[in-house]
Structure 1
Amino acid sequence: MTQVASELMGVDAQTMVASSERVLSWLVSHFDVDFSYLRHTDLERRESILIAEWPPREAIPDPDPISVAKFDEADPVFASLEHTTEPFLIRPTPEFADYQRTIRDSSGLSSVSVASVPLVSRGLPTGVLGFVKEGDREWSTRELNVLKAIAALFAQLQARVVAEERLRYIAMHDDLTGLANRRALLEHMEDRLRSGSSGPVATFFLDLDRLKALNDFLGHTAGDNFIRTLATRLRENLDPGDVIARLGGDEFVIVPAKPMDAAAAEREAMRIQQLIGRRVTVGEETVSRGASVGVALGIPGETTVADVLRRADHALLSAKSSGGNGVAVFTDAMRAQFELQDDVELNLRGAVSDGSLLLHYQPEVDLRTGRVVALEALVRWQHPTRGLLPPGAFVGVAEATNLAGELGRWVIRSAAEQFASWRRRGLASNVVIRINVSPVQLVSLDFVETMEGILRRYGIDGSSVCLEITEHVVVQDLARTQVTLRGLKRMGVQIAIDDFGTGYSSLSHLKALPVDAVKIDRGFVQRLGASADDLAIVKSIVGLAGSFGLGVVGEGVETTVAARTLVALGCYRAQGFLIARPMPAEEVEEHLAAGRIALDLDLPGASRSFLPGPS
């Protein structure tokens, strides 16, 4: 007993089989039997699973017929072990004649004696410790008591290993889907990228497009069910050896088991994207989401896990920046793009102070009349070596390097100065100037005071200014946002939520904040006429805005179908390339002087109203 207890004390899942075999070998010798085995019971599946045996069989068939035995298909004697908690003995006596006949037919032995000692945990049989002796063997009460004590040690070991495996499973798996988590992914990739492993190792970084919109309009339970359904679909349609990890939210990483070159990886990524794009029934709704996929390859012994994931993430960002629902493979061109980001980070601070920043303005019109109702100020950077850079090339870097506040103040001052100049010349008298506000500005303690000083300096009334904040800004610090926005409203400044529908806001936020308008995210507007899902979301947003008495603006209008659809839904104000691209101040003045932008949307009864004319 002491020897067995000592052997089993430090056993874990990895060493359990080897240690169990050692103990069985000691027991075979000590009790003078021919064969011993240890089996565990899967209570849910009602199966008995072979863990260890001694001596090992010389020729084990494939599949092994005794590796897993189902109780409901087993002979009555073996099936009785499913519920037995006391030792069960079989001897070559008349009551076991049928069992002895089965043994003789299967093994050629004339008769055997069997002792089956259950492993019992919390009153339930969880396995069996068995001993087989050719011929007759009588087991004494003392021997059976010793075997019961040893079986108890095995039961304790089994319970401990099950608990440890459960903890390891929890630590390595996502609790919503059962997929691998980040920790499990990193361990697997470290192993795949070790020198000598087969490669290239493909990695797919997936991000579901606009999942948060589904959460907002159908509820988080529906979103969770959608995620679980996709996880099941991926498991069923990918190779069993592929690792599928959920990093949280709507982000997934897949590492195929087979080595792949770039072409094969792109084909597989497109197949996975099509799998994800199939429609899913959530409650009473049937919905689908697209997916953006970034692909990167790692070479074992040459590429680190961090490098591969960073490249896949960069490729994902490239796919999303191209409109989403696409596949992008990491390339040298992408490498150059991210080198640009490094360049921006080094030189942006100087650009704020050296006069190389400038503003372009994008008109917003009433689609029914073509009248210019607002101008959105958009910052540009005249880079000394890279030419004119759009805000997407440097605003994110500014926010990541604590330059957003300084950049934002420059934009507000410059836009206010230009707007005041137009007003003095009789232009833009009925136009609102829209200015984007960064998260850093919005939670700044002196933002309201700064804004008030700028308006006073340039003689602009607050009602002529609309500050645009993105949805995720709202939820970052709701309490501080409320204080800031109320201070702005006291000056008459209008507030609009930009990129609305991307999933961060909720009804409670709209009720809690003094918001004047919402701008429908361009991703929904661009697909009007082609996507029933996006049509339903835009329709919901327009209805939601109306119920709260808010203005609503469609962003990203690029087709006449989108423009007509917005008008039909009751959203009359819009901006986008169909109407006008962002342009320098001097070009905007032509539209301000005309008061309208000529469009041809062929709206009933409105054809003449799109002719240029006074505002």
Structure 2
Amino acid sequence: MRRSLDLVVTSVATQLMEATAATATQVSEAVLAQLVEQFDVDASFLRHHDNDIRAWVLVAEWPRRTNVPDPDPQAVIHFTSADPVLTQCEQSRKPVVVGAELPSRSLWRRMSAGRQDGASSVAAAPLVSRGATIGVLGFVKFGARRWKQEEINTLEAVAALFAQLQARIAAEEKLRYLAEHDDLTGLYNRRALIAHLSERLAPSSPGPVAVLYLDLDRLKPINDYLGHTAGDWFIRVFAQRIRACAGQSMIARLGGDEFVVVPDQSMSAATAEAFARRLGAMLRERLAIGGHMITRSVSIGLATGTPGRDNSTDLLRRADEAVLTAKRGGGNQVAVSTDDMSLKSAFRNDIELHLQGDIDSEALLLHYLPEVDLWTGAIVAAEALVRWRHPIWGLLLPDSFIGIAESTNLAGELGQWVMRSACAEFSRWRANGVGQSAVLRINVSPVQLITRGFVRSVADTIEEFGLDGASICLEITERAVVHDIETTRNTLHELKEVGVQIAIDDFGSGYAVLSHLKSLPVDILKIDAGFVRDLGTNAGDLAIVRAIIGLAEAFGLQLVAEGVETPAAAQTLMQHGCHRAQGFLLSKPVPGNAMEALLAARWMPLPFLADRPTLSAGAV
């Protein structure tokens, strides 16, 4: 029997590891059905402990009750009226077994009404996380039942597994919320806004899509005269007013006193302009702060986009340009963006015209961004970044042409050029005795990952230039991971057989990859620069970074922080356990000869970190 119960625990652990926030209830119900059969009982239940409403909330049960009234009287059991079994579980934090004699008001007597005079035997175990009860798992037998100690031990082990699932899902939900919301106002942030606009601008979506970019006029005097606390209060109240005035619109705060409103319905430019003027008028109402009646106007920039034609970044940029025009005009007005399609089209057409011909020519070159160990100053890796000497537009960064390369099926060809050129240069450095212990990092596009023959191409390139696979790290974005998850998972496993390292770049910018992380052969998480730049001053970013560090620790992954631009950010990262970093504080991307010189020096002085932080007891 002991072995049989051990197999039960193993089976439950396997099932719960696969559960996500979306499937947790379904998986829990399947596990309860299995346990009901294993323990030969009549019913089972799983409840979570909700401190906000001070109640036990039903999550799953087996078998499902029939003819359940609406609302279900058993869905929520408040602490004040909780059954003694639940109360004992919360107090003792150990399994509780109660025989057939239960109080007449007992939930279990109601469940077993009509059977053996309503008598029931109940075994329940609390779900405990960090010393606190967060739920309860229980089983009911209509009539008497003797529970063996081995069964109680199994019940306690299974309850611990359910507690881990609940804690994991809560952590992921918190990370997801922090990643999408502004910590001061609770509104959506830029990342969530871009995702929303991308969805609204997808082909076949209804349009036009209007974007209103709001910028408060003259907020600085409030901060200067009444203090930043008053300024923050004003921002929060202003956010509440936007919610009240804008109805079901998507509302985001981009930082400072800048907000964006995306009406939930399609709007022509004329209708959107009328809506913007009404919104501006309502937001000018007076507010009382510290005994002062304050009135602040708002400048609004308006742009409209067409699904399937415009993209979120461009639409937001045009709205931003419009609000700057309104500000320059004295504020307190609405400015409408005019699409300069000829310039945009000319730029794109020119990029498409020259890019294919310039691959494998001297027009493309590589710069390298050093990765540094903040504790020692050691240069541990170099990230290869492509540049393009364009005949008209000058030196272009990847953001200017990578997207066009992907849309014109040139991403694979461009990526192969980067791979071969970077490996060739890295091989020359090593032949010169430089960078023997360093890692070469190469970015891989979503298109490359699902291209037939990509893994073979990587293996052949590494072999051609006499490199060992462990010295190469391929960086993929979260977008690449979920672009085609099954193909990506297979490709990554094949790449691991080649011996290369795998890093997820810009980690935290999305959250879809979280549910797949445990099944992907990933070595490194690179924290998105958007969470790093303001570390030391932004509590919301710190909370996200700490959560990512916790995830990396749980999965045994290395960490690299991107976008380190201030000593405060570097010191904060070190204090919380992340000591590898890239960013302009350390070095800008440099040409190949300069990168070789840095690797030859092996380390760089870090005077801005002369006083290394001491790890606190609560650091992750």
User: What TM-score do the two structures reach when normalised by structure 1?
Assistant: 0.51
**Matches of 2:363 and 2:588, distance apart in 1:** 21
**Matches of 1:430 and 1:237, distance apart in 2:** 59
**Structure 1 residues 271-290: aligned runs within 5 Å:** none
Asked whether the equivalents of residues 242 and 283 of structure 2 are also in contact (C-alpha less than 8 Å), the reply is no
Partner of residue 204, structure 1:
212
**Matches of 1:520 and 1:270, distance apart in 2:** 40
Structure 1 residues 311 and 560, CA gap change in structure 2 (3 angstroms): same
Matched residue SS, 1:455:
helix
**Matches of 1:404 and 1:187, distance apart in 2:** 30
Amino acid at match of 1:554: A
Partner of residue 346, structure 2:
339
Structure 1 residues 604 and 450, CA gap change in structure 2 (3 angstroms): same
Asked whether the equivalents of residues 375 and 433 of structure 1 are also in contact (C-alpha less than 8 Å), the reply is yes
Matched residue SS, 1:601:
helix
* Aligned: 1:363 with 2:370: yes
1:600 Cα deviation from its structure 2 partner: 1.8
Asked whether the equivalents of residues 356 and 410 of structure 2 are also in contact (C-alpha less than 8 Å), the reply is yes
May I ask how many residue pairs the two structures share in their alignment?
Answer: 356
Amino acid at match of 1:360: H
**Matches of 1:331 and 1:381, distance apart in 2:** 30
* Aligned: 1:569 with 2:576: yes
* Aligned: 1:395 with 2:405: no
Asked whether the equivalents of residues 295 and 329 of structure 1 are also in contact (C-alpha less than 8 Å), the reply is yes
Amino acid at match of 2:485: L
Matched residue SS, 2:384:
strand
**Matches of 1:182 and 1:606, distance apart in 2:** 46
* Aligned: 1:446 with 2:453: yes
Q: CA RMSD in A?
A: 4.3
Amino acid at match of 1:444: T
Deviations 1:78-111 (A, max 9, x none): xxxxxxxxxxxxxxxxxxxxxxxxxxxxxxxxxx
* Aligned: 1:490 with 2:490: no
**Matches of 1:584 and 1:266, distance apart in 2:** 53
Deviations 1:398-435 (A, max 9, x none): 01111100000000000000000000001111110000
Structure 1 residues 297 and 435, CA gap change in structure 2 (3 angstroms): closer
Structure 1 residues 582 and 452, CA gap change in structure 2 (3 angstroms): same
1:572 Cα deviation from its structure 2 partner: 0.3
* Aligned: 1:457 with 2:467: no
* Aligned: 1:554 with 2:561: yes
1:311 Cα deviation from its structure 2 partner: 8.6
Structure 1 residues 372 and 402, CA gap change in structure 2 (3 angstroms): same
**Matches of 1:297 and 1:443, distance apart in 2:** 36
Deviations 1:509-557 (A, max 9, x none): 1110110000000000012122211110000101110111100000000
Matched residue SS, 1:591:
helix
The structure with more radius of gyration: 1
Matched residue SS, 1:515:
coil
Partner of residue 438, structure 2:
431
**Matches of 1:456 and 1:359, distance apart in 2:** 21
Q: Which runs of 5+ in 1 are unaligned?
A: 1-176, 191-201, 207-229, 273-292, 299-304, 322-326, 608-615
* Aligned: 1:591 with 2:601: no
Amino acid at match of 1:587: A
| Matching residue within 379, 399, 407 for 2:414 | 407
* Aligned: 1:252 with 2:257: no
Deviations 1:141-178 (A, max 9, x none): xxxxxxxxxxxxxxxxxxxxxxxxxxxxxxxxxxxx9x
Matched residue SS, 1:353:
coil
Structure 1 residues 486 and 365, CA gap change in structure 2 (3 angstroms): same
**Matches of 1:575 and 1:388, distance apart in 2:** 22
Matched residue SS, 1:453:
helix
Amino acid at match of 2:445: S
Structure 1 residues 313 and 389, CA gap change in structure 2 (3 angstroms): closer
1:457 Cα deviation from its structure 2 partner: 0.5
Asked whether the equivalents of residues 438 and 469 of structure 1 are also in contact (C-alpha less than 8 Å), the reply is yes
**Matches of 1:388 and 1:433, distance apart in 2:** 23
Amino acid at match of 1:252: V
| Matching residue within 354, 358, 374 for 2:361 | 354
**Matches of 2:444 and 2:371, distance apart in 1:** 18
Amino acid at match of 2:488: T
**Matches of 2:366 and 2:283, distance apart in 1:** 43
* Aligned: 1:386 with 2:403: no
Partner of residue 473, structure 1:
480
**Matches of 2:205 and 2:424, distance apart in 1:** 52
* Aligned: 1:376 with 2:383: yes
1:269 Cα deviation from its structure 2 partner: 12
Asked whether the equivalents of residues 363 and 390 of structure 2 are also in contact (C-alpha less than 8 Å), the reply is yes
Deviations 1:429-459 (A, max 9, x none): 1110000001111112211111111011100
**Structure 1 residues 62-73: aligned runs within 5 Å:** none
Matched residue SS, 1:396:
helix
Asked whether the equivalents of residues 519 and 555 of structure 1 are also in contact (C-alpha less than 8 Å), the reply is yes
Aligned identity (percent) is: 46
| Matching residue within 543, 548, 570 for 1:541 | 548
**Matches of 1:260 and 1:374, distance apart in 2:** 51
Partner of residue 173, structure 1:
none
Structure 1 residues 465 and 308, CA gap change in structure 2 (3 angstroms): closer
Amino acid at match of 2:316: L
Partner of residue 316, structure 2:
316
**Matches of 1:365 and 1:465, distance apart in 2:** 16
Amino acid at match of 2:380: V
**Matches of 2:421 and 2:541, distance apart in 1:** 36
Amino acid at match of 1:389: L
1:339 Cα deviation from its structure 2 partner: 3.5
Partner of residue 77, structure 1:
none
Asked whether the equivalents of residues 485 and 514 of structure 1 are also in contact (C-alpha less than 8 Å), the reply is yes
Asked whether the equivalents of residues 205 and 313 of structure 1 are also in contact (C-alpha less than 8 Å), the reply is no
Q: Which runs of 5+ in 2 are unaligned?
A: 1-195, 215-237, 252-259, 285-298, 322-326, 328-334, 615-620
**Matches of 1:320 and 1:498, distance apart in 2:** 28
Asked whether the equivalents of residues 201 and 311 of structure 2 are also in contact (C-alpha less than 8 Å), the reply is no
**Matches of 2:311 and 2:460, distance apart in 1:** 45
Asked whether the equivalents of residues 213 and 320 of structure 2 are also in contact (C-alpha less than 8 Å), the reply is no
**Matches of 1:311 and 1:412, distance apart in 2:** 29
| Matching residue within 599, 607, 614 for 1:600 | 607
**Matches of 1:440 and 1:523, distance apart in 2:** 24
Partner of residue 180, structure 2:
none
**Matches of 2:281 and 2:384, distance apart in 1:** 38
Partner of residue 522, structure 2:
515
**Matches of 1:335 and 1:441, distance apart in 2:** 32
Matched residue SS, 1:440:
helix
**Matches of 2:515 and 2:455, distance apart in 1:** 24
Matched residue SS, 2:475:
strand
* Aligned: 1:237 with 2:258: no
1:312 Cα deviation from its structure 2 partner: 7.8
Asked whether the equivalents of residues 201 and 310 of structure 2 are also in contact (C-alpha less than 8 Å), the reply is no
1:588 Cα deviation from its structure 2 partner: 1.3
**Matches of 1:447 and 1:259, distance apart in 2:** 47
Matched residue SS, 1:459:
coil
1:485 Cα deviation from its structure 2 partner: 1.1
**Structure 1 residues 94-113: aligned runs within 5 Å:** none
1:188 Cα deviation from its structure 2 partner: 8.6
Structure 1 residues 396 and 313, CA gap change in structure 2 (3 angstroms): closer
Matched residue SS, 1:358:
strand
Structure 1 residues 446 and 378, CA gap change in structure 2 (3 angstroms): same
Partner of residue 422, structure 1:
429
**Matches of 1:270 and 1:339, distance apart in 2:** 41
User: What TM-score do the two structures reach when normalised by structure 2?
Assistant: 0.51
